[in-house]
Amino acid sequence: MALLSILEFPDPRLRTRAVAVTQVDSRIQQLVDDMFETMYAAPGIGLAASQVDVHRRVIVIDITEDHSNPRVFINPEISIIDDTLGRYDEGCLSVPGFYETVERPSLIEVTAMDRDGAIFTEQLDGLMSICLQHEIDHLEGKLFVDYLSPLKRQRIRSKLVKDQKHRD
């Protein structure tokens, strides 16, 4: 396993649209394992491959505190079951230190492949639903800060650019 480095806003590589996985082979499984290690170490509850500069449609999520429910979504497709919006305070490993309220549909259905390449479909609500929608946005090159006002986004950008300059 390996810890991967996480791209941070406003890195332009986060704007890349990820391409579909054609075959879930040992390379993809290695990526999944490394993404879990990286996410748990952070610690975080969700990570898209885009965030570790691998532009493939792979997402890992575990919203439990004891790491007891690792979930893998490869080539996820969602449909909205109920378009009632819910508000959630979202954060992002690529936007460290910032949490802001975002509105998204609460109830969705997802079809995806798991770590073995098996296709599954299920309904998701609550934090799982919000987190998966947030991670799918990453695969499209979209970040939660894109839902905020330009002023808030600019403040976050300036602070992160400053932090990044202090680091290297």
- The answer to whether residue 110 forms part of the interface with ligand QAP (CB under 6 A) is no
- Assess whether 77 carries a catalytic annotation: no
Residue closer to Co ion by CB (options 44, 105) is 44
> Which two three-digit tokens encode residue 150?
């330009």
Report in angstroms how near the CB of residue 7 gets to ligand QAP at its nearest.
14
Piece in contact with ligand QAP (CB under 6 A), picked from 3-11, 21-29, 51-59, 87-95:
87-95
Annotate 61-96 with three-state secondary structure.
ECCCCCCCCCEEEEEEEEEEEEEEEEEEEECCCCCC
Q: Which does 70 bind (CB under 5 to 8 A by kind): Co ion, ligand QAP, none?
A: none
Between CA 72 and CA 19 the distance in angstroms is 16
Phi-psi region of 43 (alpha: psi -120 to 50; beta: other; left: phi over 0): beta
Q: How far is the CB of 27 from ligand QAP (least distance, A)?
A: 24
Tokens of 2: 């390996």
Q: Which is nearer to Co ion, 60 or 92 (CB)?
A: 92
Binding string, residues 42-71; x marks residues near ligand QAP by CB under 6 A: x-xxx-------------------------
Which residues are catalytic, by number? Answer: 135
Binding site for ligand QAP (CB under 6 A): 42, 44-46, 88, 90-93, 96-98, 130-131, 134
